[in-house]
């Protein structure tokens, strides 16, 4: 199927659209500008908008395109930049970047990103805000460890108490949002059936990995950034390393894997086998993260809660 690709370079204030022969058009990255963008691409027979994954700057754009049924893909900025280097394109402007993204889309033909659901978007916002508050809370607790004037310590303690209450409020809001949507509740319930995955990790996976259950094991591991990439050339045999992926998911998986090594018999035996074979602890933990994610992927795909080993289903 031939698609009419549109490459978009996204920044905080502007969206630059590469429309092939029509050149590059700039609109504001706000409701009015996105309305103009949609008007531009709606005239194409099979529009498929492609942009780099830039976090919050693409959030409103993806929502509006999803609501109107326009195909949309986020792609890894590193891959786009590597194409530019391969083409000898050393200059870098917003217009040039938009054209490179368009060229990347035509060459690679990326799969459309599933359109976001309103309930999942609100959950993702809550989960993101909880992570921000938890990070700030940790920093304030570290500051409290250093001797300060009594008034400063009192200020720190008051702020710590306030942020702790904010975390509790956000936890309640996240639980309410999940309970209020049958599909979110189903997915979260399946995930918490896995020993090691608690409600906080389940919320992160449901909110920030909606693809879970719809990808194969290699794809889901790469998406989370826990897939090892081999480095070999000629006689050189380098170590495999993980990289890229969704950092927030990877952090949640790390904490869940530490719990799973103690509480999940499959993960525990897997981890111990690696350590008995003299694998470094860090490598064994990453492998446990990958195995835990693959287990979650299978459980979401089949819709069957986790079962202890050798227990009939």
Digit-coded pLDDT (tens) for 67-126: 888 888 888 788 888 888 888 887 788 888 899 999 999 998 888 877 767 778 889 889
In angstroms, rounded to a whole number, what is the distance separating the alpha carbons of residues 9 and 27? 11
* Region of poorest pLDDT, from 36-45, 122-131, 227-236, 292-301: 227-236
In angstroms, rounded to a whole number, what is the distance separating the alpha carbons of residues 210 and 147? 45
Higher local confidence (pLDDT), 194 or 68: 194
Q: Which CA distances in Å does 118 have to 59, 64, 75, 115? A: 12, 11, 22, 10
244: burial class by Cβ within 10 Å (0-12, 13-18, 19+)? middle
Q: Do 258 and 267 touch, CB atoms closer than 8 A?
A: no
In angstroms, rounded to a whole number, what is the distance separating the alpha carbons of residues 40 and 60? 17
State the pTM of this model: 0.73
pLDDT tens digits, 288-298: 999 999 999 99
Higher local confidence (pLDDT), 8 or 244: 8
What pLDDT sits at residue 171? 96
Higher local confidence (pLDDT), 1 or 146: 146
What pLDDT sits at residue 236? 40
Q: Do 232 and 218 touch, CB atoms closer than 8 A?
A: no
- What residues contact residue 5 under an 8 Å CB cut-off, 6+ apart? 20, 48, 49, 50, 102, 105, 106
What pLDDT sits at residue 30? 87
pLDDT at 242 over 90: no
């Amino acid at each position: 199927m031939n698609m009419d690709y549109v490459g978009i370079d996204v920044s905080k204030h502007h969206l630059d659209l590469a429309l092939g022969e029509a050149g590059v058009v700039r609109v504001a990255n706000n409701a009015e500008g996105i309305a103009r963008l949609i008007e531009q691409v709606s005239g194409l027979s099979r529009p498929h908008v492609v942009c780099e994954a830039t976090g919050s700057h693409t959030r409103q754009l993806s929502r509006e395109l999803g609501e109107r049924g326009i195909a949309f893909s986020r792609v890894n900025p590193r891959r786009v930049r590597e194409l530019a280097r391969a083409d000898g394109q050393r200059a870098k402007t917003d217009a040039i970047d938009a054209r490179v993204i368009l060229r990347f889309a035509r060459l690679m033909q990326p799969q459309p990103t599933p359109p976001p659901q309103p309930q999942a978007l609100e959950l993702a916002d809550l989960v993101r805000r909880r992570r921000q508050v938890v990070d700030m809370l940790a920093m304030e607790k570290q500051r409290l460890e250093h001797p300060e004037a009594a008034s400063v310590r009192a200020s720190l303690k008051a702020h710590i108490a306030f942020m702790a209450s904010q975390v509790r409020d956000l936890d309640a809001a996240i639980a309410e949002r999940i309970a209020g949507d049958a599909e979110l509740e189903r997915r979260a319930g399946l995930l918490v059936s896995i020993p090691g995955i608690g409600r906080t990790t389940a919320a992160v996976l449901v909110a920030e990995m909606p693809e879970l259950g719809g990808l194969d094991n290699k794809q889901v591991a790469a998406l989370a950034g826990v897939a090892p990439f081999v480095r070999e050339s000629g006689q050189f045999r380098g170590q495999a390393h993980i990289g890229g992926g969704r950092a927030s998911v990877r952090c949640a998986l790390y904490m869940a894997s530490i719990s799973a090594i103690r509480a999940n018999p499959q993960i525990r035996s897997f981890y111990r086998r690696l350590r008995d074979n003299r694998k470094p602890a860090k490598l064994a933990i990453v492998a446990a993260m990958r195995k835990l994610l693959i287990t979650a992927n299978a459980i979401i795909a089949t819709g069957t809660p986790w079962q202890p080993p050798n227990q009939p289903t």
